[in-house]
Structure 1
Amino acid sequence: MKKIILLPMLLASCIVLSQDKMITKSGTVTIEASVPSFQPVKGTNSNVTFVLNPKTGEIASLALMKGYEFEMALMEEHFNENYMETDKYPKAVFRGQIEGFDVNKLTEDYKDYIIKGKLELHGKSKDININAKITRTGTRISVFSDFSVNTNDFDIPIPALIKYKLDNKVNIQIIAVLK
């Protein structure tokens, strides 16, 4: 009898604990390293995982580098093989803390936050600060951000032959709706 009661109680506690974190596996990250007067260099990954602990404001994301899609297949090939070396460095990871985050103060109006954390990319790790807009609609929390990283900070090689076509400053746009 004790085993019969214990099993549902364990399952119920797992459900309650799992509700501590909000997640999406369909966040979108768009990267752009375009230079004026040349073809846009822009890729989008719509299968990025984001996890948020609404109690603490801790946030993390994982993007598989081969998940980026470009307008031209050749750009995608160069991105994976020559620049990001995705066979060697298959993912990008961000772990951070949303400063001053209080889930109870979120509304349907965007509120500005700073997210401080560490970006791991191309085998390198760098502390970064990100400006983000965060809103809550019902049980969903949306995070929007635009920021830039420098390819030199992550030892991402750009051949001299095409250096004039790519910007070292890569703009990154994030859209994540967590539930």
Structure 2
Amino acid sequence: MKLFKSYLILLFFLFAHILNSQDRYITRSGIIKFDSRIESIVPIKAVNNSVSAIFNPSTREIAVLSFIRGFNFENSLMEEHFNENYAESDQYPKAFFKGTIQNFSISKSKKYFFDGLIFFHGVEKKITNLPLYVENKKDQISINGVFSLLVSDFNIKIPKIVRKKIPNKIYVELNLILNKPNK
């Protein structure tokens, strides 16, 4: 828990540092989706439509924050199991990633690569060369990407009884539309 609080403080200072920059872009309505991409009786997929993010093009720094309980499932029982048994969202209420978009140029809409850290379920994982498509539209920047994560990398235990129904690999889709704040 102390480690988590330390990361929240670090994230706060990162947000504060980015906020001091003049050309920052923010959103509080970003979208993160995840799914297992396997055929099963009940598909494992969820959406969070209230993701916060801040991006500073001049420093290339980005920070994305998601409340775990913000993920909505089609099946309410699955959502309850996710929060209580797997994500343990009472103990680990937030997930975030922070880092830099490599070789970013505000004048070029194209695929870039993200290097940084993902923090989830009390575990920090280094991420390198994560592909993100970044598009600049006047006072708006969109950042989109799809990538996979291993559940086991975040110390999430899947009981043997459901291991065949819940894969170790999940696919994450990130959709952010960030705007310049009103002055």
Q: Same fold (TM over 0.5)?
A: yes
Match of 1:56 in 2: 59
Match of 2:115 in 1: 116
**1:81 and 1:56 mapped to 2: Cα distance?**
38
CA distance 1:97–1:151, shift in 2 (3 Å) = same
Contact 1:24–1:176 (Cα < 8 Å) also in 2: yes
TM-score between both structures, scaled by the size of structure 1: 0.85
From the CA coordinates, give the structure whose radius of gyration is larger. 1
Residue correspondences, number: 160
Contact 2:52–2:64 (Cα < 8 Å) also in 1: yes
5+ residue gaps, structure 1: 1-15
**2:40 and 2:85 mapped to 1: Cα distance?**
23
Match of 1:43 in 2: 46
Structure 1 segments, 4+ long, off by >4 Å, are none
- 1:91 lines up with 2:90 in the alignment: no
**1:157 Cα deviation from its structure 2 partner:** 1.4
**Structure 2 letter corresponding to 1:128:** I
Match of 2:27 in 1: 24
Q: Sequence identity of aligned pairs in percent?
A: 39
**Structure 1 letter corresponding to 2:124:** S
Q: Which SS does the other structure have where 2:168 is aligned?
A: strand
**1:125 Cα deviation from its structure 2 partner:** 0.4
Match of 2:124 in 1: 125
Match of 2:153 in 1: 153
- 1:172 lines up with 2:172 in the alignment: yes
**1:150 and 1:144 mapped to 2: Cα distance?**
20
- 1:75 lines up with 2:78 in the alignment: yes
